[in-house]
Chains A and B, each alone.
With several copies, the nearest count.
Chain A
């Protein structure tokens, strides 16, 4: 596995430096791994994201205008330590509190939990919304056991717009919870990515198998099946998402997102999208907007995920607002 690295053990810190370079003045690194926008307005309720690196453009590539205000970056695939989260929290806080928004993984939950205690001790009000969109990771009755996967793109985008409008932290929590609760995803793994430090694969999967519902690090899903066609896979993903507890049917409007886990090409995402759209339209579901591409990745992992966000009158104006970031940019409607 050839990788463009200098010191594999410094990959995380170098990529965060590079990210600050990418933002070319609009982002600063307040301490190693803690980054924040430079122009957060004084009355803002702040939005902080974070998690392990190596999944670019998430999470830290989602900061920007109309997106998150800052991010706490961990090592490769590892949750950021509490002090990094605290530093980022202080950098984005404008006295109106900070919302922590991140994927539901035990490492992240524990580190953010400690950080919120530290923040509280410094008089900063912090609330948390966990992203748990992966329907294949636990039954609907146990949402708090579900992983956060590609749904975090629409959720962070909606949250970013919400943070620009919210009067206070409670209102922001409510808006973001609305976005989170209306988003469902499922992923299909075709081949592992590699661990930058060692070059070893992140998991194992037979050459003729697909991990149905498998997580982005290779976590167990709902089963392993034989390799299938793009259409069959689209059917399976739509079925799994629509079978969940969020009713999506005739007349409903959804955001559709076909995410590449890394090396799966846009060509393949487009072919899958074609079938997904046909299936939804057949059911009378309206497509409000479409997202596509490698946004929630695990190095050069092959695979795809489908996320649906059911729109409502609260979410629509949030979605229609412009935003800009490395990971996702959209013009206003």
Chain B
């Protein structure tokens, strides 16, 4: 499959897949947070996507937006922590930008990414370069916009590449945001855990659409 668009049920399947991969990545994400923060990022993401999965499984979605906002609400309500707020906001504001569309195309993904970026930046004030998940998220948005994609699969591939680059770039940055992220120089060399999560999310979405 290399789908031009995804319907609400596809998006639901795609996010269920994201949930599974994130849940499996608990140890890796926690380790990343141990290097930079308080070591709980994997646990929070696991808790959040377990809740999201339960919500999604019972959902019969009419719109694409619904799938994303349901995920966002579930993350927001169950995770707590910095990442609960920002990951929840990513999916909620991203979803809200999609209106009542019943399919996700390349333009839709760009709108989702822009909405997600705006929501998260508004909420937490982090800008690219602050070594947060915003680096990966803005990377995804920029790349997906730059390349003039025809299909959602291509756009997701671009978002995945952009998120990965953004995440890779955090390794060289000094952390300035977040609870335990004031290691200063010592934070250099490690990727931001939230950025790692975002890159995993878009990689899994891209893999789903391009499988």
Interface residues of A (CB under 8 A from B): 9, 52, 74-84, 105-107, 109-111, 113-114, 137, 195, 197-198, 200, 202-203, 215, 217-220
Contacts and interface: CB of A to CB of B under 8 A. Distances in A.
B81 A78 contact: yes
B76 A197 contact: no
B84 A79 contact: yes
B76 A219 contact: no
B55 to A, nearest CB: 13
Contacts of B80: 52, 74-75, 78-81, 84, 107, 111
Nearest to B187: A220
Interface stretch (B12-20, B35-43, B147-155, B202-210): B35-43
Interface residues of B, number: 32
B177 interface: yes
B124 A106 contact: yes
B180 A217 contact: yes
Contacts of A78: 40, 44, 79-81, 84
Nearest to B44: A78
Interface string B112-154: 0000000000011000000000000000000000000000000
B123 A202 contact: no
Nearest to B176: A145
Given A81-B78, A202-B38, A106 B177 contact: yes
B85 A110 contact: yes
B76 A83 contact: yes
6 contacts: A75-B44, A77-B81, A82-B77, A106-B124, A114-B89, A217-B179
B170 to A, nearest CB: 16
Given A137-B182, A220-B182, A114 B85 contact: yes
A202 B39 CA distance: 7
B171 interface: no
Which of A105, A106, A198 is packed against the most chain B CB atoms within 10 Å? A106
Given A81-B78, A106-B124, A215 B180 contact: yes
Nearest to A8: B43
B61 interface: no
Interface in B155-195: 177-184, 186
A136 B44 CA distance: 28
B106 to A, nearest CB: 30
Nearest to B179: A105
B3 interface: no
From B30, B43, B179, residue with most partner A Cβ within 10 Å? B179
B76 A9 contact: no
B76 A74 contact: no
Contact of A52 (B34, B81, B186): B81
